[in-house]
Chains A and B, each alone.
Chain A
């Protein structure tokens, strides 16, 4: 295999040029925070948590959507990056309504984990307190827009893995919402196969099964990644 030399956090590595910075970091135990990334589905650079500094480039770039290049010099954990990660985490909490104490995902939520990692003790921005729908029309699952962070993992998993494309995105800015079919109740969807993949892909308490209560949510996003690995191997 052809490899190219790159440097990440002063560590010299020889890597596969087809890989993203994030893939290389994960393979080399270099921690990068991510939210919209889920191994196995296409990266879109939505959450802006995986930002890295690259020598010679002024902007911070998302590691999940930036391919490695020969002699690239990358830094993953500078004060500048940490500052933006903390802001991003706070804005997730300020933008929708996160009441962890009554949430199904409490204690098992990727967004809470993110808050702890960036050492968020409070939110410095005023909460928007938007009015959000809770769609309970599906016989087994609930979609609670209060807790959605618009990572679109559900959209991509439903489209790329299940092939159903029930979910999509409507509006822009703070009015952006995930929609089922053409913005109709999930329970009336003609595309959803009720496979439950979106539920496992979702990093928060936004999509959950009706059979559980506060703090009981068990998600296994890794089953999506494993499934895609197996498909590649044509097993």
Chain B
């Protein structure tokens, strides 16, 4: 069996899912036998190359995330929504209960710690927040989901190991579902 390619990326999340990925500890050697990690925030920052499996942490919050996710969808044979934010928006989506302008004003203009000149940053090089935060499956076709905030390392390893051995994992049957 030829070695597979694995990419991981962190969009609108807190990096906790990636911390949990690192918690698979020495089992990363098992993964490394079957796959090369060709892109990951713990490796470097280049664009997603063609991969067999892409683990995508975080929800879609901005124009930049949106473009990146479309790109990843083109590059990945199997796209996995990685963690509660990617699957159901989670904490990242809590701003959806309010309108975006109020959210930004609360942080940049009206916060008690602000001086009177506080204004919402609008430099052209900055990303633009979308009105609503979306889970991945509302933007692209998602092939598999791992809920959990963060998902347990055991669950992450289980999913990777199954896919890397050309089997389809089943979190429900494996009793590995978890939210929060």
Query: Interface residues, chain A, CB within 8 Å of chain B?
Result: 93, 97-103, 106-107, 112, 115-116, 119-124, 126-127, 129-132, 215
Contact = CB atoms under 8 A, between A and B. Distances in A.
20 contacts: A98-B179, A99-B90, A99-B180, A100-B90, A100-B149, A100-B180, A102-B91, A112-B179, A116-B175, A116-B178, A119-B171, A121-B172, A122-B81, A122-B88, A122-B145, A123-B88, A127-B93, A129-B93, A129-B132, A131-B98
A121 B88 contact: no
Interface in B71-108: 81, 84, 87-91, 93-94, 96-98
Given A99-B91, A115-B179, A121-B177, A131 B171 contact: no
A122 B96 contact: no
Contacts of A115: 177, 179
Interface of B: 81, 84, 87-91, 93-94, 96-98, 132, 135, 137-138, 142, 145, 147, 149, 171-173, 175, 177-180
Contacts of B178: 116
A217 to B, nearest CB: 12
A101 B84 contact: yes
B84 A121 contact: no
A119 B90 contact: no
A127 B87 contact: no
Contacts of A127: 88-89, 93, 96, 135
Given A121-B171, A122-B81, A116 B89 contact: no
B135 A122 contact: yes
A129 B97 contact: yes
Contacts of A97: 94, 97
A130 to B, nearest CB: 7
A128 to B, nearest CB: 9
